[in-house]
Structure 1
Amino acid sequence: MQTNFTPDQLADPDIAVADRILRSCVHCGFCTATCPTFVTVGDEDDSPRGRIYMIKDMLETGAPASEPVAFHLDRCLSCLSCMTTCPSGVDYMHLIDHARTRVEETYDRPAHDRALRSLLAAILPYPTRFRAALRAAALGRLGRSLVRGEGTLVRRMRAMLDLAPAKLPPPSSTERPGVFPAHGERRARVALLAGCAQQVLDPGIHDATIRLLNRMGVEVVVAAGAGCCGALTHHLGRHEAALGFARANVAAWTREIGAGGLDAVVTDTSGCGTVLKDYGFLLRNTPEAADAARISELSVDITELLVRLDYQPSRTLAAPLTVAYHAACSLQHGQRVTDAPKTLLRRAGFAVAEPRDPHLCCGSAGTYNILQPEMSEQLRARKLGTLHALKPDLIAAGNIGCLTQLAGDGLPTIHTVELLDWMAGGPRPARLPTGG
C-alpha cells in the first residue's frame, strides 16, 4: 500500500511505525474471510482491509477521527485472526492500537459513551472497585426488567447486568503480595500476574495455577506493586493509562529479578499474556525499554510453562470426559499458542474436541461484550452453536473473558489449568458435574 506521510509526520515514531505497517498491506483481502465482524455483517468497512484504509486516511490527513471511523474501529474485536491469516505479515495489532488512541484523543464521543468508557476504565482494572461494582450490579439484576427501551445506553446497561454473576467467590490470597514455596526441591521461580478482573470473577484459577506449579517444584511469587496488565485501558484507547500499568508491572518484576531471580512471568489469562509479551514494544521509547523487553521475553502462558516442565497427571478419570476446547483469540492469534493446551488436556486423559471455525471470536474481547452487545451476542450464539454440536461434557478455555462469555448455556466452562491441576492431584473443579 502506498502512503503519503510528510517528513514532519514521519518524525513521530508512532506514525513511522504505522507507515511501515500500512506499506506491508497488499490489499489481498485474505483477512476478510477470517474476520468475525465481516463474516457477521458483510461490510467491507468492518473488515481489517476496510479499517486499514480508514486508518490510513485518518493518519495521513491528521484530521480528527470522524463518526464513521470511530464506529467501525470500535466494532473491531482486536481478535487478531487477520494476523494469523495475512500472507504479508501485516502488523494489524499495533496499527489498530495506535488508531484507537487517535480516536480517543480526537473524536468527540456522545456523553453517555464517554461516561461509560470512563467508568469501565476506573473500575475494571481495580479488584476492590470491581468487586463492589459487581455486588451492586447483582442487585441491579433484580430490576433488569425495568430497564426499558432499545437505545445504545439501555442495551449496554442490560449487557452489563447480564454479565454480572449472581454470587461472587471469596477473595483469594493472590490479591496480596506473597511467596508460595515449591514442594520439595525447587526447580524454578516464577512471578504470577494476579491482574484484576480474574481475581474477582474466578480467583480459583490462580489458586489452581499456584497449587499445580508448587507441586511441580516451582516457587510462585505474587509481586508487590504488580496489578492490571493494562489491556483493558489499552483497548479503550487510553494509551497513557495502559503505559502506567505496564510500567508498574515491569518495575515490580524487575525488583523480583534482582531479589531472587525469575525464570518466567506466568499468566493464566491469555488476554493479559498477549499484552505482557508486547511490553517491549509498548515501552520501547521509554526509560524502561530494556527492562520491559526482558519481561516480554520472560512472559509465558501457563500451558507453555507446563509443557516446558513436562507436566504429567497423577490420577485417571473414573469415566471418560469430552472437553470442547475453545481457543481464546488472545492465545491462538495474539500469542500463537495453539498446540500446548490441547496436548496437555489429552495427556491428562481428556478427549479433546475442537469446534468448527475455531479461529472466530466468541465476542468477549475485554469490554467488547459491554460496548458492542449486539455483535457480541451474535458471535456468542455462533460459537456456542459450534461447541454444543460436539456434544461435550464441558468447555475449556484459557481466558477468563471467554469463560464468562460462554457461561450459562448448559455446559460448564472451566479453565484449562483447573482441569490439569485436578488430574495432577488438585481438587475437582467446582463447576464440573459429579460422575467423572
Structure 2
Amino acid sequence: MQTRLSDQARALARGAEAEKVLRSCVHCGFCNATCPTYQLLGDELDGPRGRIYLIKQVLEGQAPTERTREHLDRCLTCRNCETTCPSGVQYHNLLDIGRAVVEEAVPRSHGERALRGALRAVLPTPALFHTLLKTGQALRPLLPQALKNKVPGQVAPAGIRPAPRFARRVILLEGCVQPTLSPNTNNATARVLDRLGISCVTAKEAGCCGAVDYHLNAQEKGLQRARRNIDAWWPHVSAGAEAIVLTASGCGAFVKDYGHLLADDPAYAGKAKRISELACDLVEVMAKTELEALGIATNLKLAFHCPCTLQHAQRLGGAVEGVLTRLGFHLTAVPDAHLCCGSAGTYAITQPELSRQLRDNKLNALESGAPQVIATANIGCQSHLGGAGRTPVRHWIEIVDEALGNPAQRATGS
C-alpha cells in the first residue's frame, strides 16, 4: 500500500514501524473473512482492512473523529487477521500506534475515562481486585443480572502447591485477576509439573504483565510494568531458570512481545529480548515432557476453546488439543474454532453488546458436540464463557490435575 506519512507521524517513536506495516498491506481483504466484528456488523470500517485505511488517513494528516476512535475501539485485537493475512501484515502493532495517536487527538467523555481508569486501577492490583470481588460475591443476589454474570458465585480452592525440589526450575507468573478468579490454576500447574520433575518458583515483585494498561492506551504505564517484571525475574534467570511459564495466554502473548516493545530502550532492550525468548505458554513445557508416564485414564468428554492469544498471537493453535489427546481425553469438534469468544481483555466491559453476541456464538459452537466441560487456556475467556452459566468452563491444567488424582490435596488447601 502506498502511503505518505505526515511529518508529525514520521516523528513518532514508532513512525517508521507504522509506515513499514502500512506498506506491507496489499489491501486484498482476506482478513475481513475471518474478522469477528466484520462478520457481526458487515461494515468495512469494522474490519482490519478498513481500520488500516483509517489509521493510514490519520497518519497522513487527516484529523480523526469520534467515529474513527469507535471503529478502532471495536477491534478485539484477536489477531485472527494476522493468521489469515498472506502478506504477513503486523496489524496489532499498527493498531497500537494508531490508537495512541487517535486517543490523544480525540478526548473521551468523562464516563469513558472513568471506566477505563477504574479498569486500569483495579484489574492489575490483585489485593484490590480480590477485595472488590469478595464484596460483589456477598452482594451477588442484589446485583443486576448483567453485573451478576461477571461475579462468580463460587471459586474452587487453590489447594497445596509443592515446594521447589528439582534442579529443573521454571518461573511462574501469578497474574493479577487469576489468583482470585481461579486460584487453583497456578497451583494445579505446579502440582502437574512437579509430577514431571519440574519445580515452579515465583518472583514476588512481579505483577501484572502490563497488557491491561497497554491495550487501554496507557502504553507507557504498560511498559513500566514490563520493566518491573524484567527486574523481578532477572535474578531467577541468572540463577538458571529455564523458562518463564504463563498459564494465561493473554499474559503470554504480551510478555513474548517485551523484546519488540522495549527494543529501543537502551537500559532494557537486551534483557527484554532474553525474557521474551524464555517466555512460554504452559503447553509448550508440557508438550516436551513424557506425558504418557503420568498414566491418566479418563472418559471425560470435553471441548477446548483455544484463546485468540494462544492460536493467533502465539501461533500455538492445536498445541493444547494435542497434549490433551496424548493424555487420553476425548475432545469434541468445535466449528469455527478460529473465532474470538468476545472476552479480549477488557472488551467484555467496554463493548458489552458485541462481546455478548460473540460469546453466545462461541458457546453454541463449543456445545455442539455435547461436552461435559469446556476447557480453555486464558482466565479472561474462562470467566467470560463461564459467566453465561451454561456448560462449566475450566482451565485445562486443572482438568489434567484432577485426572491425576489430586482433588484430595485441593480439599486440604485454602
Counterpart for residue 201 of structure 2: 221
Q: In the TM superposition, what whole-angstrom CA distance separates every residue of 1:144-164 from its partner, at most 9, and x where no partner exists?
A: 34xxxxxxxxxxxx6444211
Counterpart for residue 355 of structure 2: 376
Matched, 1:393 2:372: yes
The one of 190, 211, 225 aligned to 1:231: 211
One-letter code aligned to 1:317: A
Give, in whole Å, the separation in 1 of the partners of 2:405 and 2:319: 20
Counterpart for residue 73 of structure 1: 72
TM-score (norm 1): 0.89
One-letter code aligned to 2:22: L
Matched, 1:419 2:399: yes
SS in 1 for 2:115: helix
Counterpart for residue 53 of structure 2: 53
Counterpart for residue 92 of structure 2: 93
Structure 1 residue 173 displacement after superposition: 8.3
SS in 2 for 1:395: strand
Structure 1 residue 2 displacement after superposition: 0.8
**Compared with structure 1, are the counterparts of its residues 235 and 160 closer, same or farther at alpha carbon in structure 2 (3 Å cutoff)?**
farther
Matched, 1:348 2:327: yes
Structure 1 residue 135 displacement after superposition: 2.5
- Where does 1:305-324 land on structure 2 (aligned, <5 Å)? 305-312=285-292, 314-317=294-297, 320-324=299-303
Q: Contact 1:327 / 1:398 at 8 angstroms: preserved in 2?
A: yes
**Compared with structure 1, are the counterparts of its residues 416 and 138 closer, same or farther at alpha carbon in structure 2 (3 Å cutoff)?**
same
SS in 2 for 1:324: strand
Q: In the TM superposition, what whole-angstrom CA distance separates every residue of 1:385-426 from its partner, at most 9, and x where no partner exists?
A: 111111111111111111111114331111111122233443
SS in 2 for 1:180: coil
Matched, 1:303 2:270: no
Counterpart for residue 384 of structure 2: 405
Structure 1 residue 170 displacement after superposition: 5.9
Q: Contact 2:303 / 2:369 at 8 angstroms: preserved in 1?
A: yes
**Compared with structure 1, are the counterparts of its residues 86 and 428 closer, same or farther at alpha carbon in structure 2 (3 Å cutoff)?**
farther
Matched, 1:337 2:324: no
The one of 131, 152, 157 aligned to 1:165: 152
Counterpart for residue 131 of structure 1: 130
Structure 1 residue 117 displacement after superposition: 0.4
Counterpart for residue 187 of structure 2: 207
Q: Which runs of 5+ in 2 are unaligned?
A: none
Give, in whole Å, the separation in 2 of the partners of 1:60 and 1:170: 53
Q: Contact 2:120 / 2:212 at 8 angstroms: preserved in 1?
A: yes
Give, in whole Å, the separation in 2 of the partners of 1:107 and 1:180: 51
One-letter code aligned to 2:42: G
Pairwise CA RMSD of aligned residues? Answer: 2.2
SS in 1 for 2:374: strand
Q: Contact 1:169 / 1:202 at 8 angstroms: preserved in 2?
A: yes
Matched, 1:244 2:244: no
Counterpart for residue 171 of structure 2: 191
Counterpart for residue 14 of structure 2: 14
Counterpart for residue 181 of structure 1: 164
Give, in whole Å, the separation in 2 of the partners of 1:424 and 1:313: 11
Give, in whole Å, the separation in 2 of the partners of 1:29 and 1:159: 35
SS in 2 for 1:213: helix
Range with bigger deviation, 165-174 or 31-40 = 165-174
Give, in whole Å, the separation in 1 of the partners of 2:290 and 2:91: 34
Range with bigger deviation, 160-169 or 44-53 = 160-169
**Compared with structure 1, are the counterparts of its residues 168 and 341 closer, same or farther at alpha carbon in structure 2 (3 Å cutoff)?**
closer
Matched, 1:280 2:259: yes
Structure 1 residue 106 displacement after superposition: 2.7
Matched, 1:38 2:38: yes
Q: Which runs of 5+ in 1 are unaligned?
A: 146-157, 431-436
Q: In the TM superposition, what whole-angstrom CA distance separates every residue of 1:160-206 from its partner, at most 9, and x where no partner exists?
A: 442112245667888xxxx9313xx53x2110111101111001000
Give, in whole Å, the separation in 1 of the partners of 2:276 and 2:220: 19
**Compared with structure 1, are the counterparts of its residues 41 and 306 closer, same or farther at alpha carbon in structure 2 (3 Å cutoff)?**
same
Q: Contact 2:311 / 2:317 at 8 angstroms: preserved in 1?
A: yes
Q: Contact 1:314 / 1:425 at 8 angstroms: preserved in 2?
A: no
Structure 1 residue 216 displacement after superposition: 1.4
SS in 2 for 1:336: coil
SS in 2 for 1:343: helix
SS in 1 for 2:120: helix
One-letter code aligned to 1:283: L
The one of 331, 339, 347 aligned to 1:360: 339
Give, in whole Å, the separation in 1 of the partners of 2:39 and 2:250: 23
Q: Contact 1:315 / 1:425 at 8 angstroms: preserved in 2?
A: no
TM-score (norm 2): 0.93
Q: Contact 1:83 / 1:90 at 8 angstroms: preserved in 2?
A: yes
Q: In the TM superposition, what whole-angstrom CA distance separates every residue of 1:100-119 from its partner, at most 9, and x where no partner exists?
A: 22233332111111101000
